[in-house]
Structure 1
């Protein structure tokens, strides 16, 4: 039986602590499976380092991550201290899981997760997927079936062995090669076993005599206590499995030990620091091992389940895991001698609190799958019994089913909100204003993995963290929802919310396909007549917008909107084609602002793609009164204002610069020196006041108007 809540070992960077906490059971996506954990393995080097980083004071965190400090300083310069503090606090407040190698049994299978069956034993991999938790949501390419002859306690090591096998492949180590392994910690020991299985002659370099002896018992042909005692020019490859920071000589020592044109493979956390001469004289190659094999950190492989063709990528993560399990089945790999501790899941927090010891290698964590956690978070009031439903209802897609209950009677009373999609934007941009909005009570927070929902729920005393939006839709104690999920889920969630009688705040875009727009259009006939629907086009509610709107003359005007955005990381979810692209997700912000200022109907929208893949484009908006808007939306790496809006009309000109300065007819009429006001606070207050009063605000376009705008955008984009 799958419970609504579970226990997981979580790091709380903002509170500098690691605890075994209650959190929601994650919901598997289409390409995921839900696994009930039987065993997990603690890798002391990686995980105790993460714990030290978590419990370190803020100045140490800053010293360890100068890249994040640089981003924070950039945010200070562009967004101001208050917005930056909100973003930093949101990041530090998010719980983070520990663990990345485990085994369990499948309890739920996503719609597109082929090749698995319920109850199947699977080894699972990856931080955030194979965590020290009672349940794990695992992408299909990070889960591998376990042979019957491999027991659970050994199969839990499949991920760690996959890392060792990937390291050997990076070094191109084959039968008869001579290699040296620096460091006989857990990964070094696994590498010794894998190298021995491949027919390689190994020398272990490790100062700890017990670890050195264990490595030799597990396949190393010799061992020394220090690099200086290893012979020169003797090894085809040298594997560095120890950590090496700052100024060190490990790579120099490894280069000395290598033969001509040998290879150095950095498996541990090694700062690349070496003298050029030895590397040059021998033409040494240096390789960095990235996790457990090709596919790691690739969203297409991990999130969408796209495998790499066997003929082009022989050894992916999953294939390395399968190879490790097969070698365990044949008795060629055996993690048993490396297990120095066995603990129960209930004792895992105490284990980390004690810290590592020199003799510690792998710790095996066992889970009592018969026991279930007790609920310790505030419960949402239960849903009252509902009348019998149509027996054919299960044949109808949920988003097309009528509401299970009558829309609640609306009164001028407290607004009870459920937040769906508690990611970076909602957590850092909207939650600070919700906390100060006296008329709104945040009752529930929902995210797919439950962790970001936990972070937001902890900011509100009586909120509960969830992973299922249906718990929000079906509960009459919640009369409103705020949806800020990924773009491809916006329309379906909004439709279900409206059909269940909720008021809806929906982040842009309203939809990214015509079918999604049709879904919203169809739900208009069943939504409550007094339902408030609002899209998060916050710029129309900003103080500068109101000032500019009052100053605009009648008659045709020319709006020129210059938008420059910083390129996203390659792995950002918005680069996934299924999300419609960044441009479709953002462009209605700027079109809506121009439409709000002009106050006449849009007659046409056209798009000229400069670089469709990147999203760079020119948008032209024509209005019924003869006005025109031109939006230049392009990516830029230069430091420049993100938004500049210029408006020209006979005898009139105005410029709004990055929501910091508004000039009208050559005079500065508004200016902010500390941050930007893009209207989020006013927009939230407008939404809450409309629900409390039962009246739609005059600034709010209705659902029909929002559907019409998005239809024009989708048609213009050629989707």
Structure 2
């Protein structure tokens, strides 16, 4: 499908794989999308994309504005060393849209026809005409996949063209509600751009008397044409007019929809608002104000969050959980619906504000005019009419190039979040003499295209099914944990060697299916499966393993993980992430299995008791594992501590000897022969893990991690989860 993106080359329309329909989402064939001249220009400026090749300035600005970021970089430098810090900074630059070859999707408001409906979606059917909103969702694309709660029906009396402005209209609608404006009140609107003009019209519909201020004379003229009571371009004239119209009482409300670096906007709002009035901020303005008029007049100062209640709440937007109507009357979806109702009723004529229309093929010219300040209206409609069929648009794979046979291991990457970008891809770059990238599979088509171009891969896709028939030697799975087992089964069933990030599975049924595959298949020709238990490949664990080879006593291992707290709604604590016992503590269960090298005899665990559910049981617990050789292994996992303290500490006791591992930066040995070992940076074995995986494929040698080790570590995690979370 065709999608509008921004890159170092500027604005482009490129061919990308179509996104897949998921549970709770709707697939829409777009007929119109809407370019909000103010918001999208602000986005381009914030990303530095209106000034190509300006990455250093952007990074410098972001660092200087955030001492917290500086402190994080310093700490990371201390823990990981210069090399890994540089790798992460450049990966983060890419993740924050400031690298030279980063593709940034644009747009957040569109309309079209429903072509497919995901499982669990109610009230939306194939063939419905709808409007939708959301950055990275309702983008400027021929096809979009949008969560149910960001999709609303378009009334018959409302054109699809006008409906494509639903996101911008909802921003104004929610701001109107936050202002608490009432019929007959005097309301000031500072900033008469697109949102400001829509806001002014909503206020007039509600029976308010509206005064506007904007430095642009064209905006002032537009405001007068839509029926605003008074509008001007000079701040002093605005204040004088407020004095006259309100009989020196001041504005009941003042709504700021402008974007500026000046303090004068806040000052003007405070000066013109009456005692015990309200000032609402929608625009991007510095919140520096003279406290005297603010406190003396007891002005109420409020803000407005995007489209309304539900915005940025993953439970609402991603999980489809609506807020009760009687408790939250105007959610973002209900605001979207009401905006379209007003358009359909004829009370609001959008053509007075936005009427410029361009075909998708000409969108680059439209953005160029926008950047140069030459746009003809406050909003630009993008028309997607074409002779392409839905089948042509909906292809989930794009072949970018053909490559001759090189004899190297052909690798596909599935999933490319921050860990894959920051850790795996830099390590894989060092192994380019052994491997070549054949395909990238990501949820968003533009991300797959970007990575495939950067690393020279032939294919970019949004579906793992597209790569199963390719001539591949290996697949690296780095998606979120709830997808791991399903994807592993697909890959090994098609004969692909697999390195999957941990965990191998999030449930017993998933794990049993993988075990059944290897138990029932011809073991001579089985593909290699390796779970990303990298710590066993660290130089520290190798030294410990060598030292205990000829031990005479069982082991006692006390392992402590002091990890940072994650908010309750963080994805790692959801069903998608699986919780930190299953997804991180499994690393340590693998180490216990690796070091003891025998089967488990008994597992017990206990978690904290707290009335505060912000601290999860499966990230604040102790697990105790006894192995059949008599070894005892204990894990204390907590998010209650300070990140100033080392994350991982391990004490290992045997044969009158103690090993003390400090966060994979140093190892001290106390006993008959004292020893000390350290590395210049934290080394948890990620690079060695990759090397061993590819070596095993190339040489057809023993698995780097025995299959039973992988399944036992996963079984320990599942059993501990049953005990601490499910009370089994």
**TM score, norm. by length of structure 2:** 0.88
Tell me if structure 1 keeps the 8 A contact 2:128–2:153.
yes
Q: Which moved more, 1:694-703 or 1:582-591?
A: 694-703
Pick from 119, 123, 126 the counterpart of residue 131 of structure 2.
123
Specify the alignment match of 1:49 in structure 2: 42
Tell me if structure 2 keeps the 8 A contact 1:413–1:692.
no
Instruction: Tell me how far apart the structure 2 counterparts of residues 239 and 698 of structure 1 sit (CA, whole Å).
Output: 63
Q: Which moved more, 1:531-540 or 1:41-50?
A: 41-50
Specify the alignment match of 2:661 in structure 1: 656
Q: How does 1:70-149 map to 2 (within 5 A)?
A: 70-93=71-94, 94-149=102-157
Deviations 1:583-628 (A, max 9, x none): 3211110121122122232222222112535721111121222221
Specify the alignment match of 1:582 in structure 2: 580
Specify the alignment match of 1:7 in structure 2: 2
SS in 2 for 1:695: coil
SS in 1 for 2:707: coil
Tell me if structure 1 keeps the 8 A contact 2:16–2:398.
no
Deviations 1:36-70 (A, max 9, x none): 21111111222122222233332334314634555
Q: Which moved more, 1:308-317 or 1:102-111?
A: 102-111
CA offset at residue 251 of structure 1? 1.7
Instruction: Tell me how far apart the structure 1 counterparts of residues 648 and 484 of structure 2 sit (CA, whole Å).
Output: 26
Pick from 348, 352, 365 the counterpart of residue 382 of structure 2.
365
Q: Which moved more, 1:488-497 or 1:71-80?
A: 71-80
Specify the alignment match of 1:630 in structure 2: 634
Q: How does 1:287-326 map to 2 (within 5 A)?
A: 287-326=302-341
Question: Gaps spanning 5+ residues in structure 2: where?
Answer: 95-101, 244-248, 609-614
CA offset at residue 33 of structure 1? 1.0
Pick from 686, 692, 697 the counterpart of residue 691 of structure 1.
697
Question: Gaps spanning 5+ residues in structure 1: where?
Answer: 1-5, 382-411
CA offset at residue 548 of structure 1? 1.7
Asked if residue 515 in structure 1 is aligned to residue 509 in structure 2, the reply is yes
Deviations 1:61-86 (A, max 9, x none): 43146345554444333333332333
- Name segments (4+ residues, structure 1) moved above 6 Å: 373-376
Specify the alignment match of 2:429 in structure 1: 435
Q: Which moved more, 1:542-551 or 1:165-174?
A: 542-551
Specify the alignment match of 2:612 in structure 1: none
Tell me if structure 1 keeps the 8 A contact 2:189–2:255.
yes
Pick from 683, 687, 690 the counterpart of residue 677 of structure 1.
683
Q: How does 1:69-468 map to 2 (within 5 A)?
A: 69-93=70-94, 94-229=102-237, 230=239, 231-232=242-243, 233-245=249-261, 248-339=263-354, 341-354=356-369, 355-357=371-373, 360-371=377-388, 377-378=399-400, 414-437=408-431, 438-468=433-463
SS in 1 for 2:60: helix
Tell me if structure 1 keeps the 8 A contact 2:440–2:457.
no
Return closer, same or farther for 1:235/1:526 CA change in 2, 3 Å cut-off. farther
Specify the alignment match of 2:246 in structure 1: none
Deviations 1:191-242 (A, max 9, x none): 1111111111110111222211211211311112233322354211101111
CA offset at residue 302 of structure 1? 0.9
Deviations 1:652-682 (A, max 9, x none): 1111111111111285532122x32111111
CA offset at residue 713 of structure 1? 3.8
Tell me if structure 2 keeps the 8 A contact 1:28–1:137.
yes
SS in 2 for 1:629: strand
Q: Which moved more, 1:291-300 or 1:220-229?
A: 220-229
Instruction: Tell me how far apart the structure 2 counterparts of residues 290 and 566 of structure 1 sit (CA, whole Å).
Output: 28
Instruction: Tell me how far apart the structure 2 counterparts of residues 228 and 513 of structure 1 sit (CA, whole Å).
Output: 67
Specify the alignment match of 1:557 in structure 2: 555
Give the superposed CA RMSD.
Answer: 2.4
Specify the alignment match of 2:652 in structure 1: 647
Return closer, same or farther for 1:131/1:682 CA change in 2, 3 Å cut-off. same
Tell me if structure 1 keeps the 8 A contact 2:603–2:716.
no
Q: Which moved more, 1:325-334 or 1:40-49?
A: 40-49
Tell me if structure 1 keeps the 8 A contact 2:35–2:380.
yes
Deviations 1:135-189 (A, max 9, x none): 1110111111101111111111111111101001111112222100001111111
CA offset at residue 704 of structure 1? 4.8
SS in 2 for 1:305: coil
Specify the alignment match of 1:392 in structure 2: none
Return closer, same or farther for 1:470/1:365 CA change in 2, 3 Å cut-off. same
Tell me if structure 2 keeps the 8 A contact 1:416–1:478.
yes
SS in 2 for 1:80: helix
Instruction: Tell me how far apart the structure 2 counterparts of residues 326 and 376 of structure 1 sit (CA, whole Å).
Output: 40
Tell me if structure 2 keeps the 8 A contact 1:36–1:104.
yes
Tell me if structure 2 keeps the 8 A contact 1:256–1:278.
yes
Instruction: Tell me how far apart the structure 2 counterparts of residues 433 and 47 of structure 1 sit (CA, whole Å).
Output: 36
Deviations 1:377-431 (A, max 9, x none): 43689xxxxxxxxxxxxxxxxxxxxxxxxxxxxxx96422222111111121111
SS in 2 for 1:458: helix
CA offset at residue 460 of structure 1? 1.9
Instruction: Tell me how far apart the structure 1 counterparts of residues 209 and 31 of structure 2 sit (CA, whole Å).
Output: 35
Return closer, same or farther for 1:228/1:554 CA change in 2, 3 Å cut-off. farther
CA offset at residue 528 of structure 1? 5.3
Asked if residue 477 in structure 1 is aligned to residue 471 in structure 2, the reply is yes
Return closer, same or farther for 1:270/1:70 CA change in 2, 3 Å cut-off. farther
SS in 1 for 2:455: coil
Aligned residue pairs total 679
Tell me if structure 2 keeps the 8 A contact 1:604–1:712.
no
Q: Which moved more, 1:548-557 or 1:233-242?
A: 548-557
Tell me if structure 1 keeps the 8 A contact 2:692–2:704.
no
Specify the alignment match of 2:543 in structure 1: 547
Deviations 1:527-569 (A, max 9, x none): 5523211100000111111112112333122211111111235
Tell me if structure 2 keeps the 8 A contact 1:555–1:625.
no
Tell me if structure 2 keeps the 8 A contact 1:498–1:528.
no
Return closer, same or farther for 1:69/1:353 CA change in 2, 3 Å cut-off. farther
